Amino acid sequence: EVQLMESGGGLVQPGGSLRLSCAASGFNFHAYAMHWVRHTPEKGLEYISAISNDAVYKSHADSVKGRFTVSRDNSKNTLFLQMDSLRPEDTGMYYCAKGVAPGPRTHFDYWGQGTLVSVSS
């Protein structure tokens, strides 16, 4: 059974940092691209970051470019999102999602339950 478990969310002040993790199990993690998507009441679902199976290709939405960095450790079946210079508008539920191919241009067939990030003073 495919499982994705996010962790690392919490309350942080503007300008602060958080590192999200997504522990994967039940599939060959090294074979698939992985993604981060967030949900906010204001914007709905927003695509944040993508990383290819081998981590050669990475992309980030303009709204987080230069502040967020996606990475992965295939030896530990774990996806990461380093979030720096956080802003109040980054507040939301962050989901990791599994792609269906090594490259990032696919839909997402499995999602975690999310981890909540709150940026406030």
Binding site for another protein (CB under 8 A): 35, 37, 39, 43-50, 59-62, 95, 97, 100, 104-109, 111-114
Q: How much helix, strand and coil, in percent to the nearest 5, is found in the chain? A: 5, 50, 45
Cβ proximity to another protein: between 2 and 15 the closer is 2
Measured distance CA(42)–CA(105) in Å, rounded: 26
Based on CB atoms, which residue is closest to another protein, 12 or 37?
A: 37
Least distance in Å: CB of 43 to another protein?
A: 7
Torsion angles phi and psi, residue 88, rounded to 5: -55, -35
Output the smallest distance, CB 96 to another protein, in A: 10
Round to whole Å and give the CA distance between 102 and 54. Answer: 8
In the complex, what is the shortest distance from the CB of residue 89 to another protein, in angstroms, rounded to a whole number? 16
Strand 115-119, strand 10-12: pairing: parallel
- Taking each continuous run of H as one helix and of E as one strand, the counts in the chain are 0, 11
- Residue closer to another protein by CB (options 44, 121) is 44
Q: Which is nearer to another protein, 16 or 46 (CB)?
A: 46
Residue 50 corresponds to which tokens in the numbers above?
């993508």
